[in-house]
Amino acid sequence: MRTLDLGDAEAVHLPGGDFRLDGGTMFGLVPKVLWQRAATADEHNRIRLSCNCLLLKAGREFVLLDTGFGERFSPRERTMYGMDGEHTLRGSLAAAGVATEDITLVALTHLHFDHFSGCLVEESTDLAPLFPNAVHAVQRGEWDDALAGRSTMRSSYRPEELHALARQVEMRFLDGDDELLPGLTAFVTGGHTRAHQGFRLEAGGHTLVYPGELIPTRLHLRPYWNMAYDMFPYQSLTRKQQFTAEAAAQGWIVAWDHDPDASWSRIVQDGEHFVARDVEL
Ligand SMILES: [Zn+2]
């Protein structure tokens, strides 16, 4: 279990499960001859990805950023998405010694199933919140789009699950950039979805940022390596360039939501390029 001691706060990487998506879709415009040098495709052209959830401990607050795809998929879906079942968010939390009841805030970048579905578990025939005492925060625009099915892929959202969650926990709907807790802010990135958001924690003189799908893996630091799933590709391109330049200039620690081999990195400018370096505190 990887942890970052930020002085006033601690960040814990919680593996929420590995899965596989088509490599072509993950890198959009980039030809396979280029991306296959960096990411190995399986016999179905899929590459390995992880759902990296982040636990932030600050005082009495236990904050969870994203919840992965959860545990409720059929064998057919598990095969289709190459879900390996080795890690679950529930198992990772238990390994970190944190009870699900202790989570005070769940903040979601967006509501695609690989970020949201881990919020809910199956109890007898019903869906129950895994974090019953947590306020669940999401952008109102994302919530509205998810319920209306405004998406490049309809299967990305599960509206009946959103209703099940909202019935059972306290929701906090955000209208743009906002402070979630002292030191923890949400910022809208757009790009991947209209109201997709990232999170920034200031603690102990450090800045830790979780940009979500704005830069899902270290490979996506390259300007044109963007997902074909993005609703607003040009926004992804421009916002990402702005973000990486700022992250490098300010020395932010950036946590990756889907990188299978790294939890977080620093961004360093190397000539015209931005590259990821291991974090040493
Ligand atoms: Zn995702």
pTM: 0.97
Predicted confidence at residue 124, as pLDDT, reads 82
Spans of all domains in the chain: 3-277
Residues in the chain predicted with pLDDT less than 50, given as ranges, are none
Q: What is the DSSP letter of 121?
A: E
| Ligand 1 center–CA 123 separation, angstroms | 25
Predicted confidence at residue 136, as pLDDT, reads 98
Contact 253, 274 (CB under 8 A): no
Please state the φ and ψ torsions of residue 122, each to the nearest 5 degrees: -90, 125
Contact 45, 38 (CB under 8 A): no
**CA-CA distance, 172 to 54, in Å (whole number)?**
19
**CA-CA distance, 199 to 13, in Å (whole number)?**
15
Predicted confidence at residue 1, as pLDDT, reads 82
Which residues lie near ion ligand 1 (Cβ < 5 Å)? 114
The first and second tokens of residue 196, run together, are 């997709």
Predicted confidence at residue 205, as pLDDT, reads 96
Name the CATH code of domain 3-277 (choices 3.60.15.10, 3.30.1360.170, 3.40.190.10, 3.40.50.720). 3.60.15.10
| Ligand 1 center–CA 146 separation, angstroms | 14
* Separation in Å, CA 199 to CA 94, 188, 221, 273: 24, 9, 18, 24
| Ligand 1 center–CA 253 separation, angstroms | 20
Predicted confidence at residue 248, as pLDDT, reads 98
| Ligand 1 center–CA 257 separation, angstroms | 7
